[in-house]
A and B are shown apart, each in its own frame.
Chain A
Amino acid sequence: MKYFKIFMLFLSLTALGISCSKDSSESLSPNGKSGSITKFTVVGDYMYCLNGSNLDVYDIRIPEDPIKINSIKITRVTETIFSYYGRLYIGAPDGVYIVDISTPTKPVLKGSETHFVGCDPVVVKDYIAYSTIRTGRTCNRDASANFLLVMDVSNAENPRTLKSIPMTFPSGLGYDKNTLFVCDGQAGVKVFDISKLNSPVEINTIEGLDAYDLITDNGILIVSSPTTYSFYDYTDLKKIVLKYTINKT
């Protein structure tokens, strides 16, 4: 319990630190940024890869000569990975798994939220995780509904779902500062205000595309659909403007 309080204090402090330093526009990390549907991620000197049921760790201190150094079992099948402040959040057909990487070479599976099943990408801000679940054949057959889940992950050993917001066919998601963007299939991209992290408020919808995954970068949102890649300017959240669409052949 003592450690938990210290951890929460640390989180609040980092949150303060982030909100103070984010006044000026954020620059892209030298490692770049992925969409939310991915199996590979880099954290410092290590790369973490989902490999079937396992999470593999690679030492990439010498990037020309990566070495696989560890592998731990997570669950039957793993699908997406997201890293945030010393933890990995792994999306799987049977839920969300939290892995502690405070010792980067020795990941430890801490806990999971498996009450809801379906498809899965996860993003995390401070102590709140956002994850989508959807019905459909490529996901878990037991998934009976489409939701954006809001989870309290302050205790890695006991993540709890706080809210389930009904969606159409949600998949990839991402946030920039206090705005959460969620791909919702034929319903487009749902835009939420997350100033109150545990209570997303829908403020806008980008319509006219079958949204699958997205990346935000400093006012520009890139959204993938089965047939297109679209670039939007979201500097004005009330008036999101389509800048360009790459069409698949």
Chain B
Amino acid sequence: MFRYPILFLLSLVVFACNKPETPQLTVKGMKPIYVSESEFYDIKNREEQELQNTGGIYIWQQYFLIAEYKKGIHVYDRSNPSLPIYITFLNIPGCADYTISENTLFADNGFDVLSINIKDIKAIKLNKILKNATKNSRDQPPNYIGYFECHDPKKGYYIGWDSALLVNPGCRKLN
């Protein structure tokens, strides 16, 4: 009786070894840009940054906020709609979306959700990191169709995408 399970296990090993080799596919695509943990959680005010790959807009108090994809949030003073003034940049390296409740900004940062005190918008403070709170989200290059290297949390914290030549990319965006 005991020999049968052993034979079964042996056959599994044989099958595993016989798996055919996958052919190499080299294509142009996108790969994640990784940063260190300290860079990823470097939540602070910065001087004016360029508006580049911008996203969600928001008004709060006299301010107008614009998300900068995987970088942070631009803050303008909109008291005079004829002349909005750039106030500060909120450095949130993995941010894509955010909202505000009174004096607290909630933002995603990669797969995390952050609570940030913005009572003084020029002197923000990180309250809490909720690790992996949004890990259900699809993690794909935005506005892009084609092959990309899947994001691998083991390689570090990713803050965006770069074009690259990929070998056997594991991910592909179809629409």
Chain A: minimal CB distance from B30 (Å):
15
B84 interfacial by beta-carbon distance below 8 Å = yes
Do A33 and B58 have beta carbons less than 8 Å apart? Answer: yes
A77 CA to B137 CA in the complex, in Å?
9
Do A64 and B117 have beta carbons less than 8 Å apart? Answer: yes
Number of CB contacts from chain A to chain B under 8 A: 139
Do A141 and B115 have beta carbons less than 8 Å apart? Answer: no
B64 interfacial by beta-carbon distance below 8 Å = yes
A56 CA to B130 CA in the complex, in Å?
13
Known contacts A66-B115, A222-B59, A224-B57, A244 near B82 by CB under 8 Å: yes
Do B136 and A54 have beta carbons less than 8 Å apart? Answer: yes
Point out the residue from B84, B99, B113 that lies within 8 Å of A34, measured CB to CB. B99
Interface size on B, residues (CB 8 A): 43
Where chain A touches its partner, the secondary structure class is: strand
Collect the chain A residues with CB atoms within 8 Å of residue B134's CB.
49, 51-52, 56
Chain B: minimal CB distance from A74 (Å):
11
Do B84 and A231 have beta carbons less than 8 Å apart? Answer: yes
List residues of B whose CB falls within 8 A of some A CB. Answer: 50-52, 54, 56-61, 64, 66, 76, 78, 81-84, 97-104, 106, 108, 113, 115, 117, 127-128, 130, 133-138, 143, 145, 175
Chain A: minimal CB distance from B135 (Å):
8
Known contacts A32-B59, A68-B130, A77-B138, A222 near B101 by CB under 8 Å: no
Collect the chain B residues with CB atoms within 8 Å of residue A65's CB.
115, 127-128
Chain A: minimal CB distance from B91 (Å):
18
Do A248 and B54 have beta carbons less than 8 Å apart? Answer: yes
Collect the chain A residues with CB atoms within 8 Å of residue B138's CB.
52, 77
* Interface stretch of the complex, out of A8-16, A37-45, A124-132: A37-45
Point out the residue from B51, B52, B115, B175 that lies within 8 Å of A63, measured CB to CB. B115
Do B57 and A63 have beta carbons less than 8 Å apart? Answer: no
A173 interfacial by beta-carbon distance below 8 Å = no
Known contacts A47-B99, A56-B133, A64 near B106 by CB under 8 Å: no
Point out the residue from A31, A66, A243, A248 that lies within 8 Å of B60, measured CB to CB. A31
A30 CA to B102 CA in the complex, in Å?
5
A42 CA to B100 CA in the complex, in Å?
7
